[in-house]
Structure 1
Amino acid sequence: MERDLKKLVASMTLEEKAGMCSGADFWNTKSIERLEIPSVMMSDGPHGMRKQEGEADHLGLNESIEAVCFPAACATASSFDVDLIQRMGEILGEECQAEDLSMLLGPAVNIKRSPLCGRNFEYFSEDPYLAGKMAVAYINGVQSWDVGTSIKHFAVNNQEYKRMCVSSEVSERALHEIYLPAFEEAVKESQPKTVMCSYNKINGVFASENEELLTKILREEWGFEGYVVTDWGAINERVKGLKAGVDLEMPSTGDYNDKKIVEAVKNGELDEKVLDRAVERILKVIFSYVDHRHPEAVFDRDKDHEKSVEIETECAVLLENNGVLPLKEEQKIVYIGEFAEKPRYQGGGSSHINSSKVVSALEAAQEKNRNVTYLKGFSSERDEIEAQEVEKAVQAAKEADIAVVFAGLPDAFESESYDRKDMKLPACQNHLIEEVTKVQPNLVVVLHNGSPVETPWAEQTAAILELYLGGQGVGEACDRLLYGQANPSGRLAETFPLRLEDNPSYLSFGGDGKTVDYTEGVYVGYRYYEAKKQPVRWAFGHGLSYTEFKYDNLTVSSEELNDENEIIVEVDVTNIGECAGKEVVQLYVTDKNGTVNRPVKELKGFTKLFLQPRETKKAQMKISARDLSFYSEEIKDWYAPAGTYELLVGHASDDIRVSCEIQFTTKKLLPFHVTGATTIGELLADFRTAAATMELLAPLQQNGENEEEVSEADQQMIQAILEGLPLKSLSIVGVTGEMIEGIIYKLNELC
């Protein structure tokens, strides 16, 4: 159905247009009956619907309809499977159509700067490339049902402490390299219907008033076509926000801010064309849903529950295994820890789902008549050592063939609105695990958590299975994985440091409540640990399987890359084990040109292969100039220096199996203006001035040859002095001021 939205906007009164720019209530947009503009409803996401028909809230406190809780983003990103995430999005899209929901608020793509962020469970990764690919898949899936998504929280929202007012102080380079790429990828590749601006300030400017982000970058550079909606209550000054690019304010503020918009138009403060444009964007998204209803959509909760089990099975990460897993039917197993009976499967806050069904790992084992007994051991909600429970659990572990401790973070430990204080599991859990290790070498620990935890007992355990917050199907998925009905294939989308103090943001995370300095720059997650050679518990991309994989025959379609072409990277992967499994093939790029301040390696490709025993398949990925580039603040654009780059392919960031080098040529050059402060080293490093600089140094070198032979140490010292010598200081070796000016003039001609 074709609609003339400009004509529709022109037929609205000023008051009606202003009214369209705020919600009717907590979840609905306003309607205008005389113009047949309907109200549409939206719902919190991203891993399930939180449709509220009664009293509404934005913190998960009040009841919502019964829905299916899928794995949270901390889990789904660990699948490294874009097809899986798109299928999950399609399921959610159909559910929304069946429940007449026009918008699902998600995905959340903020970077996991610190393990302490209370909302990390809802975010994909510490890596922007992975987060972007996951977001694209999710959005494409949901929007295939003509239901909108709202990618959030734009931008640099990486903590809950004072999130509504704190200013994230971040460099331009880190902003573009780390905190914006996931949004950029999603906008360019999948066009989410809306973008949700965050509460916080970015370098002193509220996100809801940040014209640089909302208009220049989002719309003009990236080509965003939808509307910008505030996070609930994120507006600071309504008219200023409208000018910057915020279209819809949520939730309703009555007509308080609507009147401000009307007044601003009447007194000339606000150009009515700005208001018209915002209303047109909102109407475009509303009618994209209204005109494309799907009467065939069905919300089958039982069917979707089974899908949630299948998805979580693909997401869980086997962190350690000495061969004790998979469990065997004839073994005597004891499950310890209340999470076995009451799993923690979702985070707290606005994404909290009223789940239709939850099956625990204990129930799943009982349904299959497994040889499993259960002891509470510790509470899933409180951090209390119950001596009698511990004693009974330890005795049972001693008598069993294998003990499985179900550990994790209680609901109160991580949630929206506040950050964690440390990375520790409750002391009662660590105590019990340590006691069990003393009597049972075959100890398996199963984790339920939304972000990394310290595991001081890791080296004393036989296996560790990370379930993350796996949705309402987590117990059944856990059973399948423990008993080998499914082969673990998840990989960590974030690094597990040995301890909190190792994290690059440790000294600055949280800030003083007014500002938080992103002092680590681009060195977030594995970028930091690799550069510092800092040992970690488990590296980014890590994950084990019940089989083994071999990498061979790395090839590239060309050994030369330029600004325009792409290179296809291929590698043979063989399952050399005895059971079928999936391997996540990861491609990293390394700059070999001595470029200052670049990470050791960066993820720039991945693919997931299913392989039968002894089967070989070819993994294929692509590399372009952008994948080699860093963001140059000097030219305010992406730049890769010409030269050599190494392509690293492997099982994890710390487990590279094969590599090769390629050559890159570019027509793009960084500006270079020579002054008296320019050093000899800088001139030698730039191909435009290197030859002329060598000529300049030749007389100095000849003078040195006439003197007595100098030691190697002295030569190195002289070389270092020369490289750090600015042109203006050549006077110390007898070059006149007039000559220096002439040299500078000639060198600038070359640039």
Structure 2
Amino acid sequence: MTMAEIFDVETTLEKLTLPQKIKMLAGAGLFQTHAIPEVGVPSVRLSDGPNGVRGTRFFNGVPSNCFPSATGLGASFDVDILRQVGEALGDECRAKSTHILLAPTVNTQRSPLGGRNFEAFSEDPHLNGTLAAAYINGLQSKGVAATLKHFVANDQEYKRFSISSEVSERALREIYLKPFQIAVKKANPWIIMAAYNRVNGIHVSEDPWLLDEILRKEWGFKGMIMSDWTGVYSTAESIKAGVDLEMPGPTVMRGKAVERALAGEKLFPSDIDERVRKILQLVERAKASGIPFDGPEETFDTPELRVLLRQAASDAIVLLKNEKALLPLSSPLSKVAVIGPNAKQAFTSGGGSARLLEAYSVSPFEGIAAAARAVGAEVTYSVGATSYKYLPLLNGYMDYAGGKGALVEFWNAEPTEGWLNSLKSGPDPAWSTPTKGSECFLMDGIDNEKVNTSCWIRYSAKYTPDESGDYEFSMYLTGIGNLFVNGELVVNLSHDPPPGQAFFGLATADLHAVVKGLKAGEAVDLEVRMTNAPFLASASLPGPTRGLFRIGGTRVVNVEEAIESAVKLAKEADVAIVVVGLNHEWESGGFDRPDMSLPGHADKLVSAVLKANPKTIVVNQSGSPVEMPWINEAHTVLQAFYGGSELGSGLADVLFGKVNPSGKLALTFPKRLEDNPSYPSYGSQGEVPGKVLYNEGIYVGYRGYDKKSVTPLFPFGFGLSYTTFSYSSLKTSPISPDGNFTVSFSVANAGNVDGREVAQVYIANPGASLPCAVRELKGFAKVALKAGESKKVSVELDREALGYFDERKKTWVAEKGTFNVLVGASSRDIKLTGEARLDNTFTWTAL
């Protein structure tokens, strides 16, 4: 850095005028901060994560690499790969001139129904925080700011802007704050995002106890605090509490309101300086990174990155059952039937802000087909049963005169009278652009100099079906409009369209229509005509959004016939692989799941295929637990999570034995929703007006199942391998006066296949003065072992393994006494037990 580029925070703060400082307190747009060029302050760029770097655009954005969603990465129990993922995301941020990645997420999965469960690593605070710290360290090593979110107790989507999470201080400290605390201690994230919700009646963005007393003073956090998007509800209160930056821009709660608060002495210039200083410190880091300001956005791609994406995908897979040793698949193998609604589509991630336009993706079918061909096997396919929430997008089946995809055209006024309801031509559009997909979120990516915010839009393409039959099409949009197929009006949303649930309830209902007799390989004309004017008149949203529209379509499938077809293929094959699960339409920000069931007729399909072929493998793909009513009939089951760009390759590597699975569940899978500790105090069913009661206290996840002696479907930490491991020689060092000690033991690979084992260290405190969990994860190690090899493993523990929070004394306490040390392959599979004694009680409050 040259002398001319040196940025001094205090000098710059002195140069800024009060109006300039006030301007900096909020964003300049969806993903930019305000520049003050007069004093050398540039605009800093942000991008959504956590499993990729979307960049600044929703519509026609620069394609991105997609890593497995966090529950998949959590299943790896692998600190090293999390650091590598962070580094790779840092490289892509640099390629996209991005200074801040809005990730990682460490909110606790209270319930399987949480809409954003897939975004965080685990139900366990130690695992959640430890993996987040590795991710942050990798990301920030590239000069990119991590944004640890959403602070705190933002564990459901129902009424997420207003709900109050009513939680005891002990549970808050031990469960919900703990992953944030670990990440701050081990990784020093440069930014923390305040959550939407209230905690015990106070919005987090206005809570000085959480933001100032705990986060800044007690933990010593030195970084910037930003709001979640539209998550600021006050002016003076949020500034006083410690929220430095309101996002997005333009401001709603700051700007002129800050001037009024200063005039009334609800705020003072020193309050503004405190907030601006933190923003300038972030700017200083952005300048030091060497990442250009307002630079280009480019896709990052290297052979090494693709290897990492594939490794991460395979490491995110958990082998749940392999009772007949069907896996790994091996020759001779002549025919493989791939069946199911999650097979041919690559569901790389959950929905909402985590979703992005993948640079590429490998579906389960593509990955399995490639691996099967390599061993000389034929692959057949049947969907068997559908499980979509909305009809599948038409992506990959469309083209227009200029190439693949569709053409989107914009007019600033109605082109001709009655234009919506017919195929009348009109004047040339004000602007047009191609697009690849049939879901267009028109938040950005449009020439604002040529196109008004209120506009008229035509979307046109030729759609080529790959199967003959009757086809069902659907559409929803914001505003009014119509869908035409081959010149015929098939979906009419131009006259008083019914309201729907999409886009936070601002879109129309998703209307369907059947078009008969389409032929495989014969293109049909598809056209949407719409205007967003009615939507803009009724909605208040940040930025120049033009709303959205979504078109879906698929061949009409008779459920019974489809399952019969799948059964026929399964009977004819040596092996059947059924791929079912959820997708980004069922798991997403903005809403929670209604239940734990697989959607549609997926369960019926699985049962039918299991009966048809004794060599059936069931693959479930979801970001959080689902019910498995067929589990007793299935002898071979995999949990795949959302595996990112290489999900199909990673799955095939495990199925065909190229990779020995080593994943372990970072979430407990219950047999039924009622067994979950948060039931029924969750979501809309658990609401006490304006509140959700965290009645389970500290007994979240496996802690609750253990406390009540409830047997889950699959316990926390569970996962099988193609080999077997044995444990021996447990030793525990004396606990030092300040709580440090070492747990050591040996792990041996007793089989004939190389593999990796996640050895888990749990601590129990049977003599505690307060009720405590039966056991709690306090350490783990992932051990790579060749067949027949043995290794000594040492896990370092500290006072955090011994303490609980005493609400009466407002302090952490490690009580003298004997602690049980438990080493196992899961929370319910304890291999070794020992003891460690603490001679004297001690307490602490600081980080």
- In which range does the TM-score fall when normalised by the shorter chain? 0.7 to 0.9
The equivalent position to 1:590 in structure 2, one of 740, 745, 764, is 764
Structure with the larger RCO, 1 or 2 (CA within 8 Å, 6+ apart)? 2
Secondary structure of the structure 2 residue equivalent to 1:599 = coil
> What is the rounded CA distance, in whole Å, between the counterparts of 2:329 and 2:308 in structure 1?
24
> What is the rounded CA distance, in whole Å, between the counterparts of 1:375 and 1:617 in structure 2?
46
| Contact persistence 2:681–2:692 (CA under 8 A) | yes
Q: TM-score, normalised by structure 1?
A: 0.86
Q: In structure 1, give the amino acid aligned to 2:50.
A: P
2:828 counterpart of 1:660: no
The equivalent position to 2:815 in structure 1, one of 641, 645, 650, is 641
Secondary structure of the structure 2 residue equivalent to 1:85 = helix
> What is the rounded CA distance, in whole Å, between the counterparts of 1:597 and 1:440 in structure 2?
50
> What is the rounded CA distance, in whole Å, between the counterparts of 1:491 and 1:406 in structure 2?
20
| Contact persistence 1:380–1:410 (CA under 8 A) | no
> What is the rounded CA distance, in whole Å, between the counterparts of 1:655 and 1:255 in structure 2?
53
Aligned pairs (5 A) from 1:183-202:
183-202=180-199
Q: Deviation at 1:385?
A: 6.1
2:658 counterpart of 1:482: no
> What is the rounded CA distance, in whole Å, between the counterparts of 1:255 and 1:158 in structure 2?
25
Aligned pairs (5 A) from 1:69-80:
69-80=66-77
Q: Deviation at 1:192?
A: 0.8
Of all paired residues, the percent bearing the same amino acid is 40
The equivalent position to 1:606 in structure 2, one of 780, 793, 808, is 780
2:633 counterpart of 1:455: no
Q: In structure 2, give the amino acid aligned to 1:622.
A: E
Q: In structure 2, give the amino acid aligned to 1:277.
A: E
| Contact persistence 2:148–2:193 (CA under 8 A) | yes
1:424 corresponds to: 597
2:381 corresponds to: 374
2:80 corresponds to: 83
2:61 corresponds to: 64
Q: Deviation at 1:33?
A: 1.0
Q: In structure 2, give the amino acid aligned to 1:222.
A: W
Structure 1 residues 28 and 392: CA distance shift in structure 2, 3 A: same
The equivalent position to 2:55 in structure 1, one of 51, 56, 60, is 51
2:568 counterpart of 1:566: no
Aligned pairs (5 A) from 1:227-376:
227-254=224-251, 257-293=254-290, 299-301=299-301, 303=303, 304-322=305-323, 323-331=325-333, 332-368=335-371, 369=373, 370=375, 371=377, 372-376=379-383
Q: In structure 1, give the amino acid aligned to 2:165.
A: S
Structure 1 residues 160 and 669: CA distance shift in structure 2, 3 A: closer
| Contact persistence 2:347–2:363 (CA under 8 A) | no
Q: Which moved more, 1:286-295 or 1:537-546?
A: 286-295
Structure 1 residues 367 and 400: CA distance shift in structure 2, 3 A: closer
Secondary structure of the structure 2 residue equivalent to 1:496 = coil
1:525 corresponds to: 701
| Contact persistence 2:662–2:756 (CA under 8 A) | yes
Point out the structure with the larger helix share. Answer: 1
Secondary structure of the structure 1 residue equivalent to 2:106 = coil
| Contact persistence 1:108–1:123 (CA under 8 A) | yes
> What is the rounded CA distance, in whole Å, between the counterparts of 1:307 and 1:329 in structure 2?
28
Q: Deviation at 1:567?
A: 1.0
> What is the rounded CA distance, in whole Å, between the counterparts of 1:169 and 1:254 in structure 2?
30
Deviations 1:27-70 (A, max 9, x none): 100011110110011000011011124xx6xxxxx443200011
Deviations 1:71-97 (A, max 9, x none): 000100110001100000000001111
2:430 corresponds to: none
How many residues end up aligned between the 2 structures? 661
Q: Deviation at 1:274?
A: 1.7
Q: In structure 1, give the amino acid aligned to 2:776.
A: E
1:727 corresponds to: none
Secondary structure of the structure 2 residue equivalent to 1:403 = strand
> What is the rounded CA distance, in whole Å, between the counterparts of 2:600 and 2:299 in structure 1?
42
Q: Deviation at 1:473?
A: 0.6
Q: Deviation at 1:373?
A: 1.9
2:107 corresponds to: 110
Q: Structure 1: give runs of 5+ residues left out of the alignment.
A: 57-61, 671-751
Q: Deviation at 1:298?
A: 8.5
| Contact persistence 2:814–2:841 (CA under 8 A) | no
| Contact persistence 1:306–1:473 (CA under 8 A) | no
Q: Which moved more, 1:402-411 or 1:482-491?
A: 402-411
2:615 counterpart of 1:442: yes
> What is the rounded CA distance, in whole Å, between the counterparts of 2:239 and 2:282 in structure 1?
17
2:469 counterpart of 1:469: no
> What is the rounded CA distance, in whole Å, between the counterparts of 2:270 and 2:214 in structure 1?
21
Deviations 1:239-262 (A, max 9, x none): 210000000000013476212222
Structure 1 residues 438 and 534: CA distance shift in structure 2, 3 A: same
Q: In structure 1, give the amino acid aligned to 2:223.
A: G
Structure 1 residues 628 and 254: CA distance shift in structure 2, 3 A: closer
Q: Which moved more, 1:439-448 or 1:492-501?
A: 439-448
> What is the rounded CA distance, in whole Å, between the counterparts of 1:122 and 1:440 in structure 2?
36
Deviations 1:698-749 (A, max 9, x none): xxxxxxxxxxxxxxxxxxxxxxxxxxxxxxxxxxxxxxxxxxxxxxxxxxxx
Deviations 1:206-228 (A, max 9, x none): 01001001000000011111110
Name segments (4+ residues, structure 1) moved above 4 Å: 294-299, 382-385
Q: Which moved more, 1:402-411 or 1:89-98?
A: 402-411
2:217 corresponds to: 220
Q: Deviation at 1:329?
A: 3.0
| Contact persistence 1:347–1:414 (CA under 8 A) | yes
Secondary structure of the structure 1 residue equivalent to 2:175 = helix
Secondary structure of the structure 1 residue equivalent to 2:245 = coil
Structure 1 residues 669 and 197: CA distance shift in structure 2, 3 A: closer
2:181 counterpart of 1:179: no
Point out the structure with the larger strand share. Answer: 2
| Contact persistence 1:441–1:461 (CA under 8 A) | no
> What is the rounded CA distance, in whole Å, between the counterparts of 2:15 and 2:571 in structure 1?
78
- Look at both structures and tell me which one has the larger radius of gyration over its CA atoms: 1
Deviations 1:506-533 (A, max 9, x none): 1110132610000000000100101111
